[in-house]
Amino acid sequence: MTISGNGTIGESLAQATKLLLAENGFTSPRLDCEVLLGHVLHCSRIDLVLNREKRLSNEEQNTFAAMVKRRLNHEPVSYITQSKEFMSLDFFVEQGVLIPRPETEMLVEFIIKTYETADNVSILDLCTGSGAIAVSLAYYLKNARLTAVDKFDVCINAALKNAARYALSERISVIQTDILNGLHADQKHHCIVSNPPYIKNADLSSLPIDVKNFEPEYALNGGGDGLEFYRIITAFAAENLFSNGKLVFEIGFDQGGAVKKIIEENSAFHSITITKDFAGLDRMVTAVKGNEAYGKKLCPSGIKTAKHY
């Protein structure tokens, strides 16, 4: 079956949906097709319904058919359209950049609520990827300055592009560095947030085909136990957060206890909390940096730095 030329919006969507339904592994074929056709026509999904009898031009039909073919190969819709909504904002993404997930909005909402009435907030976003967390925080927290860090050129370029898209470049510094080779900072922050790679090496091969065949392994692979980045970032945060500053992590569904233990062992933090998402799965761990007296009391020998790992 193919998508016939000069069809109406309704006919083209029906044909494309049947193509995806005939294959395995597509959980939302109709939605995928609507997003793709809406991208071609520069319109909303509601507009597709209201104008379902409108005929597509040959160019529109061919562009849509080419996109559907890419989706049949399990390429994520967001890479095909180079667009992903996050926190009601539209983000540029491309292959090589992790696609922002709705679950990550929990971290952003927590930080917004924490600092919405504070002045001159400094927030560091590690493993920024597309910049979704940093840009969203800068957009909604007018009192905040963000520093977004990633290792890879493609991520740095995406973060810069997304910051510029919302005229936030003056309040977001994008820095390229390799976190695993040790972090160094010349300033402290009120909040350090990260959605780091957290998939175990052994689990990468079992990821959905859309993820393992297209999304970058470096944005997924958290080492042998999936916890490599949590150890490094926790040690860094212990020295580079202000007193009472917040450490905010996204975690895998079964990592709450392990990440909490990593933070507890550092001894610089208190009020360590595991928060579940709407599906009832562990999704976020937060902690508060103790004040100087608190840190000395719990860790008289000093706090480990990232270079010890």
Binned at pLDDT 50, 70 and 90, residue 303 comes out as very low
The domain limits of the chain are: 9-73, 86-308
What's the whole-model pTM score?
Answer: 0.91
Binned at pLDDT 50, 70 and 90, residue 307 comes out as very low
**Residue range 161-217, pLDDT digits in tens:** 999 999 999 999 999 999 877 666 678 999 999 999 999 999 999 999 999 999 999
Supply the DSSP symbol for 204: G
Cα–Cα dist 228/226, whole Å: 6
User: Is 119 known as a binding-site position?
Assistant: no
- The CA dihedral of 289, 187, 100, 227, to the nearest 10 degrees, is -50
Mean pLDDT of the chain: 91
CB-facing half-sphere around the CA of 287: CA atoms within 13 A = 30
Would the CATH topology of 9-73 be identical to that of 86-308?
Answer: no
Q: Which two tokens stand for residue 239?
A: 């020295």
User: Is 47 known as a binding-site position?
Assistant: no
User: Is 76 known as a binding-site position?
Assistant: no
Q: What is the mean pLDDT of residues 287-292?
A: 84
**Residue range 217-240, pLDDT digits in tens:** 999 999 999 999 999 999 999 999
Q: How many C-beta neighbours within 10 Å does residue 302 have? A: 12
**What class, spelled out in words, does domain 9-73 have in CATH?**
mainly alpha
CATH superfamily assigned to domain 86-308: Vaccinia Virus protein VP39 (3.40.50.150)
CA-CA distances (angstroms) from residue 47 to 13, 30, 51, 97, 227?
13, 15, 6, 30, 45
Evaluate if residue 153 carries a pLDDT over 80: yes
What are the residues facing 194 on neighbouring strands?
A: 126, 249
Evaluate if residue 6 carries a pLDDT over 90: no
The pLDDT of residue 296 is 35
Which amino acid, 234?
A: T
User: Is 208 known as a binding-site position?
Assistant: no
